[in-house]
Amino acid sequence: MTDSIEARTGEFSATFQKITDEIGKFIVGQNDIIENVLIAVCCGGHVLLEGVPGLGKTALVNTMAQALDLKFSRIQFTPDLLPSDVVGTQVLQESEGHRVLKFQPGPVFCNILLADEINRATPKTQAALLETMQEKRVTVANETHPIGLPFFVLATQNPIENDGTYPLPEAQLDRFFFKLTIELPNHEDFVEILNRTGGNSQPKIGAVANGGEIIKLGETLREIPIASEIQDHLVRVVRNTHPKNEKAPPKVKTYVRHGASPRAAQAMLSAARVRALLDGRFHVAREDVDAVAVPAMRHRLILSFEGEVEGISPDELIKSAIKSAY
Amino acid sequence: MKNEGIQKFLNDVTRRLNYGLAWRVAGWAVLVTGIVLLGHAGLYRINGMEVPWGGAWVISFYAHALGVGVWLTLLYNSGESALVADKELGLKDSLATAMEFERKHSEVYKLQLKQTEKLLSEKKAKDLKVELPTRSLAVGGILAAAAILLGFLPNSEAVQKRLDQEALTESRSEEIKTKLEQYVEEFNKKMSADEKEVFNSEELKKGVKGLKRTKDQKEAMRQLARFEQKVTEAMGDMEARKDEEAMKAAAAELAKSDQATARQLGKKLQLKEFKAAEEVLKKFAKAAEFKDPKKMDPKELEKKKEELKKLREMTKRMANAARKRGAGQEKKLGNANGKMVPGNGKDMGQLMDAMDADAKGLQGEIAKGNWQKSDWDKGMKFQKNFNKNLKKFNENLRRMNGKNLAKRRLANLRAGLNKAQRFANGQAQTLGFSQGQMRMKGAGGLAPGAGTDRSKRKARDKAPNVGNVASLEGQKGAGPSITAVEEADSGTGISGRSGETKAREFRRQMESFVRRDDVPEDVKMGVKEYFERVHEVSEEK
């Protein structure tokens, strides 16, 4: 690997493309979703995937784990799942004739964690992930255990399953870099899915990148400059999601209770840099910011009572915030 | 160090954007000019007036000046140009970023700059679309053309008439003021010493100065009416009705005298030639003046006695006349129009009474023929008192003379003002009043009791237009009758109704009539003259 920024950016794009291509061998369509998941991975962020059952959320994460040479774990979140089932626990073990309590690491000690149907677990169990997601470490019995990097949580949740589900708390939602909504594939993609999965042979996914490379990608993207005018635009977009901001659009003022946090702005900046690199540019443009605004903020807006009652989509509010930022 | 290629491109873009901005602003300026011009023209035309071109030039100038001002305010700077170029030319914020980071030397910035240069090499500033604001230019032009067309239309007949009238009123108000100034100046010069003693013309000068040049006919009329009111008030101050009544009574009594001199004095008083009357009295008193009787020639003494007798006869008649008028008569007249001539404590009647008493006393002392010192001193005392009272009497006559003259001049001035009012409202074509012009003979009709039942008007003559007759008459049959029957036991009784109240009522009626706008000035003048004549102290017919 060379130290030249030009070379590193070239390598970034190539690696990104390799991973995308590899995932594309199994996952049909969903290019935006794949790209955004990879953007979040490059930025070291976690992703919340939302979609009806059967759209390939779990398959996408499984495929990506295979494409990356990283340790993968999967937790199926259920109502009776305990925090210790997630982060690990201390177990009594015999050691040199003595019985001692020894920490038994949970499934979070991996590089890619698939938290399947995360909203089915109780809030107590969901909260077990808070420290893990933000600090990338686990503290059990006053002992902190770091998790190896890179570490990503790719969580899935079903929007229509309300029975036996527990909505994620705002603090947890804010820890997700992106929230991606998986839509129903189009007709051609449907046919292709059947073709690929209906036969005896399955496409084989090979590892095309390792953890070190992923970390390197993160370092490269942080070198991409952003002009103050563009950064101002980014801040305006985020601030426009706050109902108390004078310049916020009327819709936001009516339907939003709390807007996006500075963490959202950080996520947008990182994601915009990745998009700039993928576009072959050495600077961030306003279109990059606008493109990542929706996935980065849609789970961070807390709607007001009116917004909830009228079923206002956060995506629509974010688009109006973008429009009023110009 | 600035990148020349990027800078040049940016300059080109800025010029291009400012050029486009100039067109947009010009389009708005033309549209706004058209709208304002049409509004301006429409406003005048709705009122039937010719559109003043000056206003159109001013509007155009300000609209264009405003346009230039707006253009200068909105001019693009390089930062704004970069953002617009990024957006319009699809540069994905390359230019804005390059501008910000052009002085940085890190590798990534150089790469960005290089990338921008490459991108710009494929673009041209001319690729930025400059859309000519054809729609606003066309609409603005059409509106302006419509406004110009409206500008060619002349004033409507009514407006033209009004403007002419305003111009006429303005010039006439100015002319009236000039003439009045001349008149008052002349008035002042021609006033005699007696008049100057009783009348201060400074108030008149102030009144004339207060007249303003105006286009408004009503305002001109109001100004003249206010001035006329001052003149009328000044005329009121010149009234000496009570003394004139006394002089009239004295004249009547003196006319009965056998003496030619007394009758002559009576005639003078009757004709209100007070100056001449004063001379006659002075002459008389001089002739009847006694010195020390011991030193006098007996023949001369006899002559003096004879003169004193004549004088006594005269003063007696005058005192009788004064007494005849009596307290009841004085009470009836009241003080409203019976002001005494200011200057001393007694009125003319009292003075005449006192003079007669002194003359009687002197005559008595002389008749005694006893020239002892103490007796003569008594006679001298009567003579002195008589002379003192005569002097006062003469002073009063002079004042009355001055007042009479001033009153006549003021009456002339008021007659002139009436003409001026006719002139101001277009009822007369010439102003031409002068100092020499006196009150028209017979104006305002004949004096009370001097009328005739013979009509001067021919049968075919139309009734003169004296305004709204219906409103003059009021609602017939409605309201109480204003006629009051004065009851008295006999013809010699004194009515209980106060003459003052009646006089006030007449004055109020006259004033309300002459203030009406719909009554021609000629008629007003006639009414005023008539009412003044009614109350005038003149020879009995």
Backbone angles phi, psi at B347, to 5 degrees: -90, 175
Sorted by sequence, the CB contacts under 8 Å of residue A298 that are 6+ apart come out as: A179, A181, A314, A315, A318
Which amino acid, residue B163?
A: L
Contact criterion met (CB < 8 Å) for B96 and A229: yes
Q: Is the dihedral of CA B62, B63, B64, B70 positive or negative?
A: positive
Considering B2-16, B442-456, B471-485, B503-517, the range whose residues carry the highest mean pLDDT is: B2-16
Residue B508: strand, helix, or coil: helix
CA B368/CA B365 separation, integer angstroms: 5
Cα angle B405, B336, B446; round to 5: 60
What is the helix, strand, coil percentage profile of chain A, to 5?
A: 45, 20, 35
Quickly count: other Cβ atoms within 10 Å of residue B222's Cβ. 12
Region label for A56, one of left (φ > 0), alpha (ψ between -120 and 50) or beta (otherwise): left
> Which pLDDT tens digit goes with each residue over A37-47?
999 988 989 99
Crossing angle for the helix pair A5-24 and A262-278, to the nearest 10 degrees: 90
> Which pLDDT tens digit goes with each residue over B316-339?
888 888 887 764 454 444 443 444
Closest chain A C-alpha to B148 CA, distance in angstroms = 43
| Domains (range + CATH), chain A | 1-78+109-223 (3.40.50.300), 225-326 (1.10.8.80)
B contacts of A284 (beta carbons < 8 Å): 93, 97
Give residues 368 to 387 of B whose Cβ lies within 8 Å of A.
Answer: none
| Partner residue opposite A6 with nearest CB, options B92, B94, B111 | B111
| Partner residue opposite A281 with nearest CB, options B79, B92, B109 | B92
CB of A227 less than 8 A from some CB of B: yes
H or E segment at A214?
helix A211-221
CA B205/CA B224 separation, integer angstroms: 14
B contacts of A230 (beta carbons < 8 Å): 93, 96-97
Q: Is the dihedral of CA B285, B291, B294, B296 positive or negative?
A: negative
Q: Determine which of A5, A220, A229, A278 to mutate to test the interface with B (most B C-beta atoms within 10 Å).
A: A229
CA B185/CA A129 separation, integer angstroms: 112
pLDDT exceeds cutoff 50 at B440: no
Closest chain B C-alpha to A130 CA, distance in angstroms = 36
Total residues found in chain B within this entry: 541
Cβ burial of B263 (10 Å; 0-12, 13-18, 19+) is middle
- Per-residue DSSP letter, A168: P
Strand ranges (E), chain A:
46-50, 68-69, 72-76, 88-95, 98-105, 112-116, 137-140, 143-146, 152-157, 176-181, 209-210, 256-258, 302-303
Contact criterion met (CB < 8 Å) for B108 and A225: yes
CB of B79 less than 8 A from some CB of A: yes
B contacts of A4 (beta carbons < 8 Å): 107
Distances (CA, A) of B422 to B221, B288, B468: 9, 56, 19
ipTM, interface predicted TM-score of the complex: 0.75
CB of B108 less than 8 A from some CB of A: yes
pLDDT per position in chain A (326 positions), as tens?
A: 456 888 888 888 888 898 998 988 888 888 889 999 999 988 989 999 988 878 888 888 888 888 888 888 889 989 899 998 989 998 988 888 888 888 889 999 998 898 888 888 888 888 888 888 888 888 888 888 998 888 989 998 877 556 678 888 888 888 899 999 988 888 988 888 888 877 777 778 888 888 888 888 888 888 888 988 899 999 999 999 999 998 999 999 999 999 999 999 999 999 999 999 998 888 899 999 999 999 999 999 999 999 888 888 999 999 999 999 98
Closest chain A C-alpha to B2 CA, distance in angstroms = 17
**SS3 labels along A7-38:** HHHHHHHHHHHHHHHHHHCCCCCCHHHHHHHH
Q: How far is C-alpha B324 from the chain's CA centre?
A: 44
pLDDT of residue A296: 93
Contact criterion met (CB < 8 Å) for A281 and B111: no
Q: Determine which of B89, B91, B97 to mutate to test the interface with A (most A C-beta atoms within 10 Å).
A: B97
Sorted by sequence, the CB contacts under 8 Å of residue B200 that are 6+ apart come out as: none
Residue B198: strand, helix, or coil: helix
